[in-house]
């Protein structure tokens, strides 16, 4: 009886193996279409690789843009947006999607993160707005901080926008878009858990944090 069950399980595993592999290795290439292709085009266009229209169709112009991006980022320039290319673009891959799903499926997290970005980074470059959202999410994965988006944002003294009420300012569409991008896995901050505006801070301690990068007026740090 046990042997029969084992053989049945093994047969099902072999039968499902191609499906499981396909789920983990999603790729987009010439002829693909849909929302992910739209996001690929949007990223490539914002970084100067893509010159066509953002239409969600993976045509020749998109294919060539992906190849140029790959060549400049140490990825085999095959024109196929697989896991390594999607990751370099800051888009969720087959494995990364599961890690961000608990956030992206929560509309309350989207609204709250949008308002925080709006209050903290209104007027900053779009990449900097996404980076502010990414810092919040990076903190939820760091044991030194609360494990939820709301917990991180409302941690006492964590963000100026909570203190001065800017979190309630009229929200801009770019803040909502930036929150979505951050929730979907794009992290322009490079893994930062702190950021600050040197022109506004009076905190000497924050200057001691190792700098990762500067985007707009903000310094993003570990």
pLDDT band at 16 (very low <50, low <70, confident <90, very high): very low
pLDDT digits (tens, 9 = 90+) for 62-100: 999 999 999 998 999 999 998 889 888 888 776 444 444
- The three-class DSSP label of residue 194 is strand
Mapping DSSP to helix (H, G, I), strand (E, B) and coil, where does residue 215 land? strand
Kindly report the CATH number that applies to the domain delimited by 100-221. Answer: 1.10.10.2520
Q: Is 219 helix (H, G, I), strand (E, B) or coil?
A: strand
pLDDT above 50 for 107 = yes
How confident is residue 156, by pLDDT bands cut at 50, 70 and 90?
very high
**Mean pLDDT value of segment 138-161:** 94
pLDDT digits (tens, 9 = 90+) for 22-67: 334 568 888 888 778 888 999 999 899 999 998 888 999 999 999 9
**In the chain, where the domains are located:** 26-94, 100-221
DSSP-derived secondary structure for 94-145: TTHHHHHHHHHT-HHHHHHHHHHHHHHHTTS-HHHHHHHHHHHHHHHTSTTS
- Tell me: the pLDDT tens digits for 159-186? 999 999 999 999 999 999 999 888 888 8
SS3 214: strand
Give the model's pLDDT for residue 87. Answer: 85
The model's pTM is 0.56
**Cα–chain center distance at 175:** 14
Reference 58, options 34, 30, 86, 81; nearest CA is 30
CATH fold of 26-94 reads Muramoyl-pentapeptide Carboxypeptidase; domain 1 (1.10.101)
């Amino acid at each position: 009886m046990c042997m029969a069950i084992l053989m049945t399980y093994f047969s099902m595993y072999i039968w499902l193996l191609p499906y499981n592999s396909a789920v983990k290795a999603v790729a987009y290439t010439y002829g693909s279409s849909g929302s992910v292709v739209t996001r690929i085009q949007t990223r490539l266009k914002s970084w100067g690789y893509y010159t066509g229209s953002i239409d969600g169709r993976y045509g020749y112009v998109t294919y060539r843009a992906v190849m140029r991006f790959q060549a400049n980022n140490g990825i085999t320039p095959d024109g196929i947006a697989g896991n390594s290319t999607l990751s370099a673009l800051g888009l969720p891959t087959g494995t990364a999607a599961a890690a961000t799903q608990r956030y992206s499926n929560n509309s309350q997290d989207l609204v709250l993160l949008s308002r925080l970005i709006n209050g903290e980074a209104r007027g900053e470059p779009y990449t900097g707005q996404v980076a502010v959202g990414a810092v919040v999410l990076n903190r939820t994965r760091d044991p030194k901080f609360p494990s939820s988006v709301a917990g991180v944002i409302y941690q006492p003294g964590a963000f100026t926008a909570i203190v001065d009420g800017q979190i309630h300012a009229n929200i801009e569409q770019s803040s909502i878009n930036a929150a979505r991008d951050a929730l979907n896995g794009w992290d322009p901050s490079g893994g930062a858990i702190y950021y600050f505006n040197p022109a506004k801070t009076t905190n000497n301690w924050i200057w001691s944090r190792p700098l990762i990068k500067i985007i707009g007026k903000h310094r993003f740090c570990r």
